[in-house]
Amino acid sequence: MFRAIILGGTLALGAAGSALAHGDGAPAPIATDGLPSLGEDFKTQNPYRGNDLAVRIGEGGYNQNCARCHGLDVKSGGMAPDLRELTSDETGDSWFAARVTGGATKDGRVRMPPFGEILSQEAIWAIRTYVESRPKD
Ligand code: HEC
């Protein structure tokens, strides 16, 4: 347990360093200063819905971690689902959180990497808030 935490921390720091150096879309943690802390237990609904700061923080987190597959401005180019289609309720929220923390594997191939060790709960809900702020066209 202890070792896993140290390892996770090291990986996260490494990813942050390379992101600062290149901004290359590699998975990287994001700072969520100014947002209410959420504690250990994962929420089942987005606690930041309607929070403008969460939208701004989430935009940076999305562009760094998600846009290369889910599309710039959350407009899917077809290689991954359009995240604007998820409903803004507990069903959509819990599905979003489960997928982002756990990723997705099909027939033994990783289609989406898990972000549970990279992004804090605060970061994940900030990204969710940004996604929900995008118009469905
Ligand atoms: C390497 C490409 C890739 C990256 C990076 C990626 N995803 Fe995904 N994501 C996918 C694919 C592919 C699927 C579909 C998986 C499946 O259902 O088999 C998916 C599915 C999802 C789903 C479920 C959507 C649905 O309609 O069922 C959510 C939510 C999601 N991703 C959010 C995110 C977020 C948020 C990020 C950034 C933190 C992210 N993804 C980063 C490729 C990616």
Query: Per the structure block, which two tokens stand in for 35?
Result: 């947002």
For ligand 1, is residue 43 a contact (CB within 6 Å)? no
Helices (H), the chain: 2-22, 52-65, 67-70, 90-102, 121-133
Note the pLDDT of residue 19: 39
Over residues 1-19, the pLDDT tens digits come to: 444 444 444 444 444 443 3
Cβ-proximal residues to 87 (8 Å cutoff; 6+ apart), any chain: none
Note the pLDDT of residue 8: 41
Helices (H), 23-88: 52-65, 67-70
Distance between CA atoms of residues 103 and 82, nearest Å = 15
> Does the predicted model carry a pTM greater than 0.85?
yes
Note the pLDDT of residue 59: 98
For ligand 1, is residue 26 a contact (CB within 6 Å)? no
For ligand 1, is residue 67 a contact (CB within 6 Å)? no
- Residue 24 binned pLDDT confidence (cut-offs 50, 70, 90): confident
For ligand 1, is residue 103 a contact (CB within 6 Å)? no
User: How many angstroms does the Cα of residue 48 sit away from the middle of ligand 1?
Assistant: 21
Of 1.10.760.10, 3.90.650.10, 3.30.310.50, 3.30.360.10, the CATH number of 42-137 is 1.10.760.10
Longest dimension (CA), the chain: 46
Note the pLDDT of residue 25: 82
Question: Residue ranges of the domains in the chain?
Answer: 42-137
Over residues 89-128, the pLDDT tens digits come to: 999 999 999 999 999 999 999 999 999 999 999 999 999 9
